[in-house]
Structures are given as C-alpha cells and as structure tokens.
Structure 1
Amino acid sequence: MPLNFLTADHAPVVPAHDADRPLPHEERARWRRPYRLGPWRVAGAAVVLLLTSYVLISAVILAMAGQLTGAAVFAAVAALMTAAALRALRMGVWVSGAGLRQVGPLYTVTLPWAEVAAVRTAQQPVKWLGLPRTVQGQALVVERARGGSALRTQLTTHNADFLNRPEAFDRAADVIEGWSAEARGAQGEQGAR
C-alpha cells in the first residue's frame, strides 16, 4: 500500500521548449505537499508508533488475563496514538489548482486561491519544533484577501520539516509562492475575458 502523504510529489522532467512554464505539473486538481517531510517529523511519528506497539501489547496481555475493560481502554489509547501519529505526518501546507490548505494538529483550513491575498516569507520570531520556545527565523505567511488577516504560521525554518534545512525551506516557500502567483495570474486572465 503506497503512503502518498509521506513523500512530496515531484514535477516530471520538462523538455527544454516547456522550460518557460513556472510550474510544470500534470494533475492540478490533486492536493499535494510541495516539499518532503522533515526527519524530525518522521522520527517523532515513528517514536509514537513504537510506543503504540507497547500499548497494544499491554492490551493483549490484559485481554488474556481476563481484564477486558482494561484491554479496551489500552486499545482505545493505542488507536488515539496511531491517529495522532498519522495526523502529525499529514500536517503542513498542501496546494492544488483549487487553493491552499493548511493542516494542523486539530484544524484544517482550506482557502481558494481567490481568497489568498499574498504568500510571502517574513523574518520573525518562530516556534522551535512547535514548542513554546521562540527563536528568530523565517516563516511562510499566507494573508487572506478578506480582512487581511494572516493564517496561522505553519511553515518555518525551525519546524519539524525544516529544522537545520534552510535551503529546503527556501525551495518549499518558492514553490508555494509560485503556485499562488500562477493561480492569481490565471484568475486575472479569466477576469479579463
């Protein structure tokens, strides 16, 4: 079973005559994460899944000992841990021809490109690995067209995907900004018609 959400989709090799297109891609309707998961995010999910296996073993032992209530509680805890690990792997920014989607631990925000006013990088204090400690770094800021408020900061140089990988952050930010610019350009062409 392929786990498509673990890897970034990469654009196919483009012939030289099509190189002037900013974002060569085939399936614009498909939601894709334009960057690879970082090692910190994958390692955190792996540790949670490892601990989940111990909780499941405890549930089996309790069930064999006749403690069905305890076994059910441990099985429910294991299910919650598995769901949390999978959600952690889904977290991030996703793009498609329809818009931009931010997936967080307990929320998902989807904005059509018409509602995205700007996508830019900014130098600002950012959370280190999502913890309360803040450090100076770069963040991808997505501003809404209505109200001008920005979405929660999801991509930073110090989150689980880009810690100690500033060049990967720059590439991801450039790709997301490119999707936004292309979508706004397409909307401008439609409005001119």
Structure 2
Amino acid sequence: MSVRTSPRGAPPPTAIAPATSCRPPRAGRGSGWRRGEDEAAALRDLAERDGAAAEREREQVVAAREKVYGVLFADDAEAAAGLVRLYRAAIAAADLVPADGRWRWRERETDLRLPRHRIVRGLVALTRRDDLDRLHQCEDATCGWVYLDTSPRRNRRWCDTKDCGDRNRARAYYARQKQKQTETETRTRTQ
C-alpha cells in the first residue's frame, strides 16, 4: 500500500463552495460494477460543468492527505483535529447500510465531494490499523511515497525496489565508481 505525499507546508486549501449534485443511480442486485461506472460518469460530468469546484475538491483531498501525514508521522494534534472535522463531514454525507454480509458506507448523493468523503473514511481507517509501526516513508529523496513494509525482516527502504530502489542503488554505484576514480587520480598525482 502506498500513498503519495507532498512536502509539508503546502498552501492551504480554499473554502469549498456548495457543490452541484445529483442523486446516485439506483443499482439492481449484482450490478455494483454498473453503479460504479454510472457514478464515475456523473462525477466527470459534474467536474466538466464546474471545473473550479472540482479543483477545490482536489485541493481538499491533498489537504486531507497532508493531515493524515501529520497525524501518522508528526503526531500533529492540529492535523488530527482537522482530520476529525473532515471525517465528521464524510460520515454525515453517507448512510451505513448492510451489503453482501458487511456494513458499508453509501453516499446519499453523488456530488463532487463524494471522492473526498470516501478517501477521508479510508484515511481514517488507515490511522486505526494495528500495524502502523510498519508504515514508512520511501528513503528516495525525490519520492515521498509512504508504504506499509510487509517484508519479513521489516527492513524495506524504498516504496518500490524496481523504481526508487534501482535508482538509489545505481546512484550509489556511480558515486562509489567516481570516488575510486578520484582516489586513483589523487594517488597518481602524488607519485
């Protein structure tokens, strides 16, 4: 599991204007995938009609991500309070309903806030995990991903060994080669 983070101190999100909304499509039994497609199409349509509101929602999602980062990695009480406010709004916009033998949240309306509400509920669920001691930030200086280290020895350093890991190993190799070359040139000059 990985979550992209941005540098701390990102500009604060702007206030959210009331979003245009529409009722979620009613899905019959066994048509969950269809409902998701209809919902995605409705969200795209809403975003096309009001691009500014869609951008404000995107900024709110980024702000929520930063709040969770503050909670998990900096024990930031202010970030926790902000996350609680977002969670309360997300809960207020949905009903808890039984589905397929489990309880799930179902939004009352499909509006531009829907993705943010779902993401916030997921982020809060993340903060309640028992294995948060396995949560790490990638050691690559340019990455910023946060990942759950599920390796048996808990010694993973990068979010993806094929991307960040390879880049860092290559960087270290070239640095060692350059150091050897510099040492060889220095020895040659001093002889």
TM over 0.5, shorter chain: no
Question: Which bin holds the TM-score, normalised by the shorter protein?
Answer: under 0.3
| Larger Cα-atom Rg | 2
Q: What TM-score do the two structures reach when normalised by structure 2? A: 0.26
Higher strand share: 1
Q: What TM-score do the two structures reach when normalised by structure 1? A: 0.25
Higher helix share: 2
